Amino acid sequence: MSAAVAEIVLRDGRLHMARDVHERVLFACENVALLARGDGWLLMPLRAGAGGLQVKLRNARGDRVVESQEFFRNQGIDDSAEPRRLLLVDVPGEAAFAMRFDP
């Protein structure tokens, strides 16, 4: 198993990430795709014009948020679920990161 490259938080059906994660890991991409694959999820940075979910500016520090309630509801996670940390893990051969709950 590959090592985690970053940590994000799933809260209120939204993905919250620090500015440095957005810049360093997602290469400041302004759109992402969320994919359900097997028993896990993938977060894929997208280039401009590719569609997907917008990575929105959250505060003056430059932290970001992805409005992803619909995706997580479809995965059986209610908006009112307790906040959970997710680890982003590089997936060799994929242009995406696996999202795994931090134990």
Q: Mind listing the pLDDT tens digit of every residue in the chain (103 residues)? A: 578 899 999 999 999 999 999 999 999 999 999 999 888 999 999 987 778 999 999 999 999 999 999 999 999 999 999 999 999 999 888 889 999 998 7
How is the chain split into domains, by residue range?
A: 4-101
The residues near 41 (Cβ < 8 Å, ≥ 6 apart) are 34, 35, 75, 98, 99
State the pTM of this model: 0.92
Q: Look up the CATH number of domain 4-101.
A: 2.40.330
pLDDT at 71: 97
64-67 and 40-46: which strand pairing? unpaired
